[in-house]
Amino acid sequence: MRRLAGSDPRRIGHNDLLAVIGDGSMGRVYLGRARSGRLLAIKAIRPDLARDPVVRQRFGTEIAVAQRVSGAYSAPVAEAAPEASTPWLATAFIAGPTLHAAVAENGPLAAGDALALAGGLAEALRAVHGAGVVHRDIKPANILLDHAGPRVIDFGIARFAEWPGGPEWSAAQGAAGTTAFMAPEQSMGGPASAASDVYALGAVLCYATTGRAPFGDDSAAAVQFRAAQLPPDLREVPEALVPLVEACLNKDPNRRPAPERILSGLPAGSGKAWPPADIAALIDARAREADAFVTGERAARTRRRVLAGAGSAVLALVLAASGIAAVRAGLLPGTGGDAEAGESPAPSPVTSRDTIEGDVAAAPESGAEFHPEATVDDLVETLFVPQRGGTVTDLEFHLEDPDVLYDIGLEYSEDWDLSTGEQRMPSAPMVDFDSNVLAVSPDGEALAAGTNSNTVYAGEPGAEDADWGRELANGALSEAAETPEETSEDLPKLEDVVTGLAFSRDGQTVVAAFGAGQAHVLDASDGSEIAAHETERDLLAGPAAAHPTEDVFAVEHDQEIVLLDSGTGEEIDRFDPEASASGDLEYTADGEHLILAGVSEFAEVIDADTGEQVATMRGHGEPVDGVASTPDGTVVATVARQEPQGDSEVRLWDVGSGEEIGLIQTRPSRGALDFSADGTRLALGHNDGAISVWHLPG
C-alpha cells in the first residue's frame, strides 16, 4: 500500500479513502473506510476509460458477477455505483496477501498446506459455479489468502454460464485470461466452462508447490502448444498432490473432476491446519499496514499551496524546504558520502509529493545544469496543472529557448512560458481526440502531432487557438475527424497508430513512423511523400529522431535502428542494438550518440555513426517509457511505470560510467520526458494532465 497522491480523490461515494492498494489495467484500488468504520477495497475505473462505453459495460458485468457470488469464498460486495461518472465497486477489505505474493515471499507451500489450499479453492469454485458463473481467470494473483482460507477475487472477465446475450457475448470475449493458467480450449479461443476453472485450479496448485506454472510462462504461443500437446511438468509437485493436479490438467474438459469430487477425494481434516505460520504472519503484517493508515501514523504531514497564473494553476513543490533531497550529496561522482572508497552508494528514492510545506516559487528557475560531477544537495520540483485534464502523451522543450515548453494530450495542445509559469496561449483542442506524439521544428516555428487514428497534423506554436488544421498525412479514420479543406487525396495513407515523429534539422521534412511497420518521409510544407519504408517482417515500427547537425533521421524499424537521409528518404545504414527502442529514441545534442529504450527494461547509448554500444543503464525492472539527455550528453534520464503500484520512477544516469546517480518516485506517466536546451530543467508529463519540472538551484 502507499499514500494517496495529489491526483487521487479523498472520497468515493460516502467512503473516505485512506491509501492506494494497487493498480490494474482498468483502474485503481483504494483502501477505504465506510461511515460505519468498516474497511473496504474500492476499485475505481480510470477517468480516461470511464468515457468508454465498452469499458463501462465490462465493469458493469464485473459488478453483477461479483454481487452474484458475494460470500465467504470471495470478497463480499458492500456497495457499487456502475452508473457514476467514475464507476466504482466496494468490497470488504481482505487483510491478506495474494497467493502469488505469498509464494514470492515465503517460497512454495508444503504438501499439507497445499492440500488445505486445494480444499479451500474447490469450495470457492463450487460456490462460484453454483451461482451460475465461470470465473475464467483463476490464477495466483487473483487468490487472496485469509485466516479463514483462500478467497477468489477479480471477476473482471468472468461471465454467467448462461449469458442472456447468447453466443455473441461468448465470441466477443475471445481467449481472455492468463495463458499460463488457461485451459487449452480457452486459450485457443473456444468457450470457457466450469471445467476450464478446474484446469486453472490444477495449474495454481502446481504453482503453489513449485513456484512455476505447469507449462511454463514464456511466450503465449509456446505455452499454448505445450498445454495442448505435451504432458505437464509436475516433477517438483509433492507426491500427495500429483494425482489431483494431473486430473485437473486433463486436456479433455469432460474428464476433469468437478469441485465436489475434488472435495470428496481430499484427506479428512486437510484444512484444519490453515493458515500455515508463515502465511499467517503475512496476513497479520498486511492488517497492521492497513491499521497504520487508519490511525494516521503514516499519513503525510503536508499542506497544499496553489499558485494562480493567468488561466492556469501552478503547484510548486519545493522538496528542499522539507529537508528532502532528490539527489543527495554523496550520490554523484566526486561528492563524498558515507560509502567506502571505490564503492558507489545506492541512490535513495525520493517521493514526488503532491503537497510540501515551505516557501513556494512561482516558476522553475533556470539554475545549475544537470551534471554528474556537480555537488547536489536538493532538487526542486514545480508541478504545472493545465486548464484541461487528461494524459500528457508527449512534450518537448523549444530547441533554442529553455523557457518554452510544448505538450500535447489526448484532447489538447499547450504552450508554456516557464519563466512566468503561465501558458503563452490558452489550451487548444486537437483536430483528433487521440494525439500520441509531438515534434517541434528546430526553430520552434512549426509543430507536428501524430495520432492514434493514423494521421499527422501540422500546427503553429503560439498561434491563437493553435491551428492544427493542416494534415501532412492521413489514414482510414481521418475521414471521421474534423478534417480541413486543405486535406488532399494525394496524402500518404498511414496504416496504424503514429509511433514516432521528428523534423529534419532544417525543418523542411518530417519522418513519421507508425505501428504497421512503415516509415514515411514527408515534405513539411504540404505533406507530400518523399519516401516510404516497410519492414520485411510483420513487426512494429517505433519512435523516430532527427540528427541535430546532419541530414539524418533515425527510426526504430523492424527491431533495428534505421538511418534515413532526411532530404531524400534513402536508407543510409542499419544498427542492431542490444536494447529495444520501442519506448523512446533520441539523439544527444551534439549528434554523437543515440539513446534508446523500451520493452527490454533498460536504456542503451550507442555511437550514432557506428552503432557500437557506449553504455547501458539498467535498474528499472520494467519497460522504459521515455529517455532524455542533457545537451552535453553526460546525464541521461529514464522513466518507467512501476507495476503493480502503477506510479512512475525517474532515474538519472552518469553516461560516462553507466552508473545510476539519482532516483525520483513520482506520479504515473506515459513517458513524456525532456531536458531543456540549456540542461537546467527536466520535464515529465503525467497521466493526470500535470507536468513536473525539476531544476537544481544555481
Most confident among 75-89, 338-352, 527-541 (mean pLDDT) = 75-89
- Pairwise CA distance, residues 152 & 136, whole Å: 11
- Pairwise CA distance, residues 78 & 70, whole Å: 9
Q: What is the mean predicted confidence (pLDDT) over 102-111? A: 95
In this predicted structure, what is the pLDDT of residue 183?
93
In this predicted structure, what is the pLDDT of residue 698?
63
Q: What is the mean predicted confidence (pLDDT) over 615-623? A: 86
- Pairwise CA distance, residues 131 & 72, whole Å: 13
Scan for cell 523557457, then name that residue: 403
Q: What is the mean predicted confidence (pLDDT) over 450-474? A: 66
In this predicted structure, what is the pLDDT of residue 470?
62
> Residue 117: which of 241, 253, 294 has the closest Cα?
241
Task: Please check if 139 is assigned to a binding site.
Answer: no
Q: What is the mean predicted confidence (pLDDT) over 432-455? A: 79
Q: What is the DSSP letter of 87?
A: -
Contact 459, 449 (CB under 8 A): yes
Q: Is 259 in a helix, a strand, or coil?
A: helix
Report whether pLDDT(162) > 50. Answer: no
Report whether pLDDT(313) > 70. Answer: no
Q: What is the mean predicted confidence (pLDDT) over 509-534? A: 83
Contact 498, 436 (CB under 8 A): yes
Q: Is 56 in a helix, a strand, or coil?
A: helix
Report whether pLDDT(388) > 80. Answer: no
Q: How many residues make up the chain in this entry?
A: 698
In this predicted structure, what is the pLDDT of residue 387?
57
Q: How does residue 515 score in pLDDT terms, banded at 50, 70 and 90?
A: low
- How many distinct helices (H) and strands (E) make up the chain? 11, 42
Cis peptide before 668 (omega within 30 of 0): no
In this predicted structure, what is the pLDDT of residue 664?
87
In this predicted structure, what is the pLDDT of residue 389?
58
Q: How does residue 148 score in pLDDT terms, banded at 50, 70 and 90?
A: confident
Q: How does residue 374 score in pLDDT terms, banded at 50, 70 and 90?
A: low
Distances (CA, A) of 136 to 76, 125, 195, 411: 19, 11, 10, 36
Which range is least confidently modeled, 170-184, 260-274, 320-334, 609-623?
Answer: 320-334
Which range is least confidently modeled, 148-152, 304-308, 604-608?
Answer: 304-308
> Residue 7: which of 46, 37, 40, 61 has the closest Cα?
46
State the cell numbers at 692. Answer: 513536473
Residue predicted with more confidence, 71 or 211: 211
In this predicted structure, what is the pLDDT of residue 329?
29
In this predicted structure, what is the pLDDT of residue 463?
53
What is the helix (H) or strand (E) element at residue 277, kind and residue range? helix 277-295
Q: What is the DSSP string of 222-235?
A: HHHHHHHHS----T
- Pairwise CA distance, residues 157 & 34, whole Å: 27
In this predicted structure, what is the pLDDT of residue 436?
76
Which range is least confidently modeled, 160-169, 449-458, 650-659?
Answer: 160-169
> Could you tell me which residues come within 8 angstroms of residue 394 by beta carbon, excluding any fewer than 6 positions away?
407, 408, 435, 436, 437, 438, 672, 685
* Catalytic residue list: 137
Report whether pLDDT(573) > 50. Answer: yes
Contact 384, 693 (CB under 8 A): yes
- Pairwise CA distance, residues 478 & 455, whole Å: 7
State the cell numbers at 79. Answer: 456497495
Instruction: List strands edge to edge, sheet with 509-514.
Output: 498-503, 509-514, 518-523, 529-534
In this predicted structure, what is the pLDDT of residue 362?
46
Q: How does residue 430 score in pLDDT terms, banded at 50, 70 and 90?
A: low
| pLDDT (tens digit per residue) in 657-689 | 888 888 888 888 889 999 999 999 999 998 878
Q: How does residue 350 score in pLDDT terms, banded at 50, 70 and 90?
A: very low
Q: How does residue 580 score in pLDDT terms, banded at 50, 70 and 90?
A: confident
Secondary structure of 575-601 in the HEC alphabet?
ECCCCCCCCEEEECCCCCEEEEECCCC
Contact 251, 185 (CB under 8 A): no
Report whether pLDDT(540) > 90. Answer: no
Question: In sequence order, what E strands does 619-654 have?
Answer: 624-629, 635-641, 648-654
Residue predicted with more confidence, 350 or 64: 64
- Pairwise CA distance, residues 402 & 396, whole Å: 10
Distances (CA, A) of 612 to 361, 584, 594: 43, 18, 10
Of all residues in the chain, what percent carry a pLDDT higher than 70? 74
Q: What is the mean predicted confidence (pLDDT) over 369-380? A: 66
Which range is least confidently modeled, 190-204, 329-343, 589-603, 609-623?
Answer: 329-343
Residue predicted with more confidence, 295 or 546: 546
Domains, in order of start, for the chain: 11-93 (3.30.200.20), 99-286 (1.10.510.10), 307-695 (2.130.10.10)
State the cell numbers at 673. Answer: 520526458
In this predicted structure, what is the pLDDT of residue 181?
94
- Pairwise CA distance, residues 146 & 144, whole Å: 6
In this predicted structure, what is the pLDDT of residue 351?
37
User: What are residue 105's phi and psi, to 5 degrees?
Assistant: -85, -45
> Could you tell me which residues come within 8 angstroms of residue 284 by beta carbon, excluding any fewer than 6 positions away?
none
Report whether pLDDT(352) > 70. Answer: no
In this predicted structure, what is the pLDDT of residue 19?
92
Residue predicted with more confidence, 576 or 599: 576
Report whether pLDDT(153) > 60. Answer: yes
- Pairwise CA distance, residues 352 & 692, whole Å: 9
In this predicted structure, what is the pLDDT of residue 629?
94
Residue predicted with more confidence, 489 or 622: 622
In this predicted structure, what is the pLDDT of residue 366?
64
In this predicted structure, what is the pLDDT of residue 445?
83
User: What pairs with residue 694 in β-bridges?
Assistant: 381, 682
Q: What is the mean predicted confidence (pLDDT) over 485-496? A: 51
In this predicted structure, what is the pLDDT of residue 316?
34
Residue predicted with more confidence, 103 or 358: 103
Which burial class, exposed, middle or buried, applies to 268 when counting CB atoms under 10 A from its CB (0-12, 13-18, 19+)? exposed
- Pairwise CA distance, residues 660 & 651, whole Å: 7
Q: What is the mean predicted confidence (pLDDT) over 467-481? A: 50
In this predicted structure, what is the pLDDT of residue 495?
54
In this predicted structure, what is the pLDDT of residue 337?
34
Q: How does residue 142 score in pLDDT terms, banded at 50, 70 and 90?
A: very high
Q: What is the DSSP string of 462-503?
A: TSTT----EEEEEETTGGGS---TT--TTSPEE-S-EEEEEE
Q: What is the DSSP string of 16-31?
A: EEEEEEEE-SSEEEEE
Q: Which long-range contacts (CB under 8 A, 24 or more apart) does 569-575 make?
A: 569/521, 569/530, 569/531, 569/532, 569/533, 570/531, 571/533, 573/611, 575/606, 575/611
In this predicted structure, what is the pLDDT of residue 328?
29
In this predicted structure, what is the pLDDT of residue 231?
94
In this predicted structure, what is the pLDDT of residue 569?
86
Residue predicted with more confidence, 119 or 468: 119
Q: What is the mean predicted confidence (pLDDT) over 508-534? A: 83
Q: Mean pLDDT in the chain?
A: 77
In this predicted structure, what is the pLDDT of residue 97?
93
Three-point CA angle 371, 444, 417, nearest 5°: 65
Q: What is the mean predicted confidence (pLDDT) over 257-275? A: 85
Q: What is the dihedral of CA 112, 114, 116, 117, to 10 degrees?
A: 170
Q: What is the dihedral of CA 616, 621, 623, 626, to 10 degrees?
A: -60
Q: How does residue 347 score in pLDDT terms, banded at 50, 70 and 90?
A: very low
